[in-house]
A and B are shown apart, each in its own frame.
Chain A
Amino acid sequence: MKLTFSAADEAFREEIAGWLRDNLTGEFAQLRFRGGPGDEHMFPSERKRWEQHLAAGGWTCVGWPEQYGGRGASIEQQVIFFEEYARAGGPGRVGHIGEGLAGPTLIAFGSEEQKQRYLPGIRAGTELWCQGYSEPGAGSDLANVRTRAQQGTDGKWRINGQKVWTSLAHESDWCFVIARTDPDSQAHRGLGFFLVSMHQPGVTVRPIEQLTGTSEFNEVFFDDAVAADIVGEPGDGWKIAMGLLGFERGVSTLGQQMQFQNELDEIVRIAKANGAAQVPAIRQRIAEAHTGLRLMRYNAMRMLSGNEQGQPDSSALVYKLHWASWHRHLGALAMDVLGPEADIIDAAPYELTRLQSLFLFTRSDTLYGGTNQIQRNIIAERGLGMPKEAKGR
């Protein structure tokens, strides 16, 4: 076991840290620590400009192969990139769905032509992506997709149906959509993976007003929307979508943890200032939060190092349940440290402080990307080999 980074990796760390120091300035200075989960609605156009600035500096898609415009960075260097980005207060990335999900999926499953068409726009930060998976009737039961794709006599696929909980849909140029290519099929069979332009009359985006009073998530309606491409063959949709879920548990988790650290630091600062740091029960909870975050980091390091056979380590299965539950606790701790001041918002009608947003938004952490209950099913079934849940007809 080795916990330290090589000299070359440390040099890489200095390079990205220096670039961020020099570039998160001027018009971008106001974006520091903004636009993350729970704050996604802030500064959208400024963050789009930042995405392109980042790209011009060569700091988007660092983990992609060089032939597709990436840096071919090692796992260690990707970890370092995300850590330094979060440490510097780099704003929430509007391009992260393209870089982390759509791009890797195309690299793995797309045709050469599709790669040439779509990857450069993601790399340059000029084409933003959103993800069309969940539907009103397909939440935890993701395979229960009803959105249909029909191929016309002109060879084009047309999409009809509704997606929901689509983050960044209103800012996106493209959406990858799973839709049913075989109308008689059920569950995970008969699905296709489509690339759909958001700029067409058949696509309507409607924001969902969340309990935070803000809207990061949307409903997306497809009425005879034309798909520009299908990835793989009709019927491959589930396989491709599941491959993509693998990418979701990637190295960016280390950067996410750095954001968590920033939040915890703020809570510790307040606790010291208002004396909560002297209350034994609060001390216990702060120490528990600190421990949980450190151990989350070690767990991620183990996950990224892979197991002895070079496969993702068994720690990967528990990762989502761990961070989501931890973060939700942190939100409640923030309120309890603040005491009665926790209830006083910034301004009417409903402008929340950052910590109030944290408290409220973290209730979604244990829902999206697979609820805690679905995560426990996965751990029990795939990790422990216990029997699968019975399915209704």
Chain B
Amino acid sequence: MEFRFTEEQQMIRDTARAFLEDVSTPAAVRQAMATEAGYDPALWQRICQDLCFQAIHVPEQYGGMGLGYVELCAVLEQMGRVLLCSPFFSTVCLGVSSLLVAGNDQQKQQYLPAIVDGSLTATLAWTGPQAARLGGQWDCNAVTATWQPGADGFELNGELRYVIDGHTADLLIIAARQPGSSGDQGISLFAVPASTAGIRRQWLPTMDQTRRQAALQLERVMVPASALLGEAGQGGPALGKLIDLAKVALAAEQMGAAQKTLDMSVAYMQERVQFGRPIASFQALKHKAADMQLKCEVARSAVYYAACVAQEAIDPEGDAQLAAELPEAAAMAKGYCSDTLFFNAGSAIQLHGGVGFTWEYDVHLYFKRAKASELYLGNGDAQRELIAGLLLD
């Protein structure tokens, strides 16, 4: 048992941190968030060409680095720290993982090298408008777009919402269900170029401006049989696994962001003087900071453990016992990190005092990311209900 980063993993993390602090400055984030695309294409190309983060968990046979989910999470933590605006989460944590989990060799050959060389972005679209029902549902029940056999393939129809980077992604992995099916039955996954006729894409402007969401309208979208990932109607379990993997990735980002809000707050409190002393010396504020630190440490343990489990789950030859822990480990990491980031970002506003309420200081960017990422894929309450189901029902 060695529950710490290897030297290679440390190097990846340190490289990511140094690079991202250099390029994803507050000024760069604010510039990117003012655009409709939501990111700087030149920076995305630098990431793809110089750092190759997008290739981390792509197997070597498809041109990737052949590393694992732990390395991926080490980088995501650093991206969360600086609120990197990029199509990384959508392309890598949703797109690449979809192809790895559900695609056949031909489909992987078709798309993964293009993602690795930086010429293709991707995302996963599975939720219809009713993802907002009951305070948020993100599992197979949220799938409402439909598929049916069409000429030489399939015909897709319906509406998808809350699609990360859906308005800019080149490749859409779409989950749809057989008309009349329910739950995780009848679900199929399709890899569809965004330029396919019948797809209408619309940017949904968001309160958290550091991450883009979009809506998709599918009207008689005809796709060839080769677009189907896996067996027709059998995609439910793969989709469930993808959602769990995405939770782990998002939790890693949240943990990095939560640590950053604490670091910002401590630095500010050391400088700010009231009553003739730095406010960092007041016990009321020290204790708030200590609570934030506790949450960060526990969140870190949750993410690293879930990342190890995710690695076993995504590797076809991974340890089956650990892989089976994925639904629980992902729910624990996502739930704990969601609550942690919201607590820490909210506390950071309080610890910064009045300036924390201004547009000028960066704290609000983290606070808004906190709420948006908490609700995406289900908040702490939703994750706990999942865990309660595993324990009690």
Q: Could you list which residues of chain A lie within 8 angstroms of chain B, going by C-beta atoms?
A: 1-5, 9, 76, 79, 268, 271-272, 277, 280, 283-284, 286-288, 290-291, 294-296, 298-299, 301-302, 304-308, 313-315, 317-318, 321-322, 373, 375-377, 379-381, 383-387, 389-390
Contacts and interface: CB of A to CB of B under 8 A. Distances in A.
7 contacts: A9-B1, A286-B392, A288-B384, A290-B391, A302-B4, A305-B2, A318-B294
Contacts of A380: 286-287, 289-290, 293
Given A283-B392, A291-B387, A384 B289 contact: yes
Interface stretch (B114-122, B212-220, B301-309, B357-365): B301-309
A275 B41 CA distance: 55
B100 interface: no
Contacts of B387: 287, 290-291
A296 B290 CA distance: 17
B301 A308 contact: no
A263 B278 CA distance: 44
Interface residues of B, number: 49
B297 A377 contact: no
Given A4-B1, A287-B387, A295-B336, A377 B322 contact: no
Nearest to B384: A287
A154 B393 CA distance: 72
Contact of B308 (A3, A305, A321, A386): A3
A225 B270 CA distance: 49
Contacts of A5: 1
A383 B263 CA distance: 11
B106 interface: no
B1 A301 contact: yes
Contacts of A389: 283
A322 B298 contact: yes
Contacts of A306: 4
B199 interface: no
Interface stretch (B5-13, B164-172, B176-184): B5-13
Nearest to B277: A387
Interface string B68-90: 00100000000000000000000
B353 to A, nearest CB: 16
Given A3-B322, A301-B1, A386 B302 contact: no
Contacts of B388: 277, 283-284, 286-287
Nearest to B6: A1
Nearest to A316: B297
Contacts of A2: 1-3
B301 A298 contact: yes
Interface of B: 1-7, 9-10, 70, 262, 266, 269-270, 277-278, 280-281, 283, 286-287, 289-291, 293-294, 297-298, 300-302, 304-305, 307-309, 319, 322, 332, 335-336, 381, 384-385, 387-388, 391-393
Contacts, number: 153
Given A287-B384, A287-B391, A298 B290 contact: no
A269 to B, nearest CB: 11
User: 8 closest pairs, A vs B, by CB?
Assistant: A380-B286, A376-B290, A287-B384, A283-B388, A379-B290, A387-B281, A298-B301, A287-B387
Contacts of B269: 386
Contacts of B4: 1, 302, 305-308, 313
A321 B287 CA distance: 12
Contact of A268 (B289, B384, B391): B391
Given A308-B10, A384-B266, A387-B280, A375 B332 contact: no
Contacts of A295: 298, 301-302, 305, 332, 336
B301 A302 contact: yes
Nearest to A296: B298
Given A268-B391, A291-B332, 10 more contacts: A3-B305, A286-B388, A286-B391, A291-B336, A295-B336, A299-B297, A302-B4, A308-B7, A380-B287, A386-B266
Which residue, of B7, B283, B297, B304, has the highest number of chain A Cβ atoms within 10 A? B297
Contacts of A283: 384-385, 388, 392
A389 B287 CA distance: 12
A298 B387 CA distance: 17
Contact of B293 (A301, A377, A384): A384
Given A302-B3, A373-B287, A380-B287, A271 B392 contact: yes
A272 B391 CA distance: 10
B3 to A, nearest CB: 4
Contacts of B10: 308
B68 to A, nearest CB: 9
Given A302-B4, A380-B287, A291 B384 contact: yes
Contacts of B9: 1
A314 B7 CA distance: 18
Contacts of A1: 2-6, 9, 70, 304, 307-308
Contacts of B319: 4
A321 B385 contact: no
B286 A294 contact: no
A273 to B, nearest CB: 11
Given A3-B308, A283-B384, A308-B10, A384 B290 contact: yes
B293 A386 contact: no
Contacts of B280: 386-387
Given A298-B301, A299-B298, A301-B3, A284 B283 contact: no
Contacts of A381: 286
Nearest to B333: A295
Given A381-B286, A386-B270, A389-B283, A318 B385 contact: no
Nearest to B312: A3
A384 B381 CA distance: 30
Contact of B294 (A76, A302, A322, A390): A322
Contacts of A317: 293, 297
Contacts of A379: 289-290, 293-294
A76 to B, nearest CB: 5
B276 to A, nearest CB: 12
A206 to B, nearest CB: 34
A307 B7 CA distance: 11
A384 to B, nearest CB: 5
Given A295-B298, A301-B3, A318 B305 contact: no
Contacts of A373: 287
